Amino acid sequence: MKSIRTTLIATALMVGLTGLALAQNTTAPTDTPRAGRVEKMREHKAERHTQHLTELKSKLNLQAAQEPAWNRFTESMQHPARMARSERANFEQMTTPERLDQMQAMKAQRDANMQQRSDTIKAFYAILSADQKQVFDQETFRMMKGSGMHATKHQGGHGHH
């Protein structure tokens, strides 16, 4: 039971860190060559994310009754939308205390999103068979192991795959 709890906590941390990583570079203009590369990298990351989910679903060998929970799980795993350009412009016009307040509000929203994801993951996990739970634990650990800064840094900035 402790292993399951540890895995769920680790999965929740992975999801939270993914949200933080996406939220970091939100002030770059979208009309520069760098912005084009960043967008291409985001698209590549989204494709890999979709591929991971597809592979996970295949390995889990879900039953028809588990499909609705899988759909809720995959919806919860979607990356949050980036800050709109107009919001970034407003952010630049704020005073430092206003920016700090806004950053706290954004963090609270990320925390709420993380809690919702965590609840959805736990609900999905609860409907899995023992064999499926073992596969889920192994696969989410494999994904988390390759998703951190350490993996990106040592693999030319392109992540785990």
Exposed/middle/buried for residue 11 (C-beta within 10 Å: 0-12, 13-18, 19+): buried
Quick one: pLDDT at residue 134?
A: 96
Q: Whole-angstrom Cα distance, residue 159 to residue 107? A: 25
pLDDT of amino acid 25: 46
Per-residue pLDDT averaged across 75-81, rounded? Answer: 80
* DSSP secondary structure code for residue 64 in this structure: G
Judge whether residue 78 has pLDDT over 70.
Answer: yes
Half-sphere exposure of 29 (CA within 13 A, CB side): 3
Burial category of 117 from C-beta neighbours within 10 Å (exposed 0-12, middle 13-18, buried 19 and up): buried
Place of tokens 């392109």: 158
pLDDT one-digit tens code per residue, 80-123:
766 666 677 788 899 999 999 999 998 999 999 999 999 999 99
Q: What is the pLDDT of residues 128-161, one digit of tens each?
A: 999 999 999 999 887 777 655 444 444 444 444 4
